[in-house]
Amino acid sequence: MLRSCVIWLWAALACFAQSGAPFKLATFESNGKTALGIVIGGHVLDIAAADTYLLKHGGGATVKIPAEMRDLIERYEAVSPRLHQIASHFQAKEPAGLAFAHRLSEVRFQAPIKYPYNLLNMAANYHSHAKEMGVAKEVDPDVDDPYVFAKSPRSCIIDPDAAFFIPPGRDRIDWEGELALVIGKPAKGVSLANAVDYIFGYSVMYDVSDRGGGKRSHAMFTGPDWFSGKSRDGAAPFGPYIVPKEFIPNYGNLRIVTRVNDRVVQDNTTADMIYDVPHIMRYVTSIMTLYPGDVISTGTPAGVGVARKPPEFLKPGDVVSIEVEGIGTLRTPIQAAGGAGSSR
């Protein structure tokens, strides 16, 4: 009888979760403490503290709340009903004044995952960007393979609002605003039909690109130098939020807007992708296994600096802001290396 009641309770909570209040997830720092947060409206709540609060106030049975985002992703099926319950409770009841609830402007957001096992990036994955970069070939995503490259999560990922420092002697740093996929469970050999089942959620990434690092002048092999062009320290600002996929059903038509200072430099939607999310997942998992918390940055639309006439590049004092519809805005100040706080 008890087992039947427990099963009914969790089934009811799961059903409730599908129609509950939307929320975002984050890793944030407040008063020297780093915590997992649930973002509801204009507040971010420490999830563990919110869970304890609800328990004390008759808010159902608690679950063990993970302390780290990758662990939460791995245990999301078990934790999800409680998160939806927290979101619905505090959407209905203003959390202001509670010690574990903070206004978004009062905390420092970290990259939501530090650090994923794998960080992959798609190259020239928007029709408009491929055209501006001189790609003339017509691509069939069901026949032609995409171009995918990797960045080091530990060296490249930096927090929202953390500065990217232009390396000495480099003056061709470009902007690329992108939708990021966050993997929810081990994925190998997935199909187009089930690819989205392996997505946990969506975030924002800035694929910082050094256009001066694209050619090999003294090397054993000719061709583009993707390593120096894409893998500079700090070349993957990430966040501030992850939105679980149940709240982003229109992932194939999200607006992406990139601004340099107050000027819009990119404005398009993910409908312009050459390889959509299922095609990306099918290809990548045909090569390697993906794990919970892994991140794939899905490419950038037209409007990059190197394709402008004349070309335009970032300089110290600029601020790059990337907004993805339904997710949030990632802000990255650009500074010269060697200044205060330039070491990572």
pLDDT tens, position by position, 22-46: 999 999 999 999 999 999 999 999 9
pLDDT of 5: 36
**CATH T-level assignment (fold) for domain 114-336:** Fumarylacetoacetate hydrolase; domain 2 (3.90.850)
Q: What average pLDDT score do residues 128-153 get?
A: 93
Give the number of other Cβ atoms within 10 Å of residue 311's Cβ.
Answer: 12
In the chain, where are the structural domains located? 2-109, 114-336
- What class has domain 2-109? mainly beta
Q: What's phi and psi for 331, nearest 5 deg?
A: -115, 130
Sheet holding 164-166, edge to edge: 164-166, 328-336, 319-324, 255-260, 263-269
Is residue 125 within 8 A of residue 273, CB to CB? The reply is yes
What residues have CB less than 8 Å from 239, skipping those under 6 apart? 26, 27, 109, 110, 111, 112, 159, 160, 203, 204, 328, 330
Is residue 296 within 8 A of residue 267, CB to CB? The reply is no
Residues 92, 77: Cα–Cα separation, whole Å: 24
Range of weakest confidence among 53-62, 198-207, 282-291, 327-336 = 53-62
Q: What average pLDDT score do residues 268-276 get?
A: 98
Is the pLDDT higher at 342 or at 163? 163
pLDDT band at 92 (very low <50, low <70, confident <90, very high): confident
Is residue 113 within 8 A of residue 295, CB to CB? The reply is yes
| Average per-residue pLDDT for the chain | 90
Q: Would you mind telling me the total number of residues written for the chain in this entry? A: 344
Residues 192, 218: Cα–Cα separation, whole Å: 42
pLDDT of 71: 97
Give the number of other Cβ atoms within 10 Å of residue 97's Cβ.
Answer: 6
pLDDT of residue 2 exceeding 80, the answer is: no
pTM: 0.91
Is the pLDDT higher at 236 or at 220? 236
Q: Which residue's structure tokens are 């990259």?
A: 111
Q: Taking the CA atoms of 130, 135, 138 and 140 in sequence, report the sign of the dihedral they define.
A: negative
pLDDT of 195: 98
Is residue 238 within 8 A of residue 205, CB to CB? The reply is yes
pLDDT of residue 342 exceeding 60, the answer is: no
Q: What's phi and psi for 199, nearest 5 deg?
A: -85, 135
Residue 289 burial (10 A CB sphere; 0-12, 13-18, 19+): middle
Q: Name the packing angle between helices 47-56 and 76-92 (round to 10°).
A: 70
Distance (Å) of CA 228 to CA 149, 151, 212, 257, 265:
12, 11, 9, 26, 24
pLDDT of residue 57 exceeding 90, the answer is: no
**DSSP alpha helices (H): ranges in 223-292?**
226-230, 277-287
Tell me the residue type at 99. A
Residues 246, 172: Cα–Cα separation, whole Å: 39
**SS (HEC) of 23-71:** CEEEEEEECCEEEEEEEECCEEEEHHHHHHHHHHCCCCCCCCCCCCHHH
pLDDT tens, position by position, 16-26: 444 479 999 99
pLDDT of 288: 98
pLDDT of 217: 64
The two domains 2-109 and 114-336 share their CATH topology (first three levels equal):
no
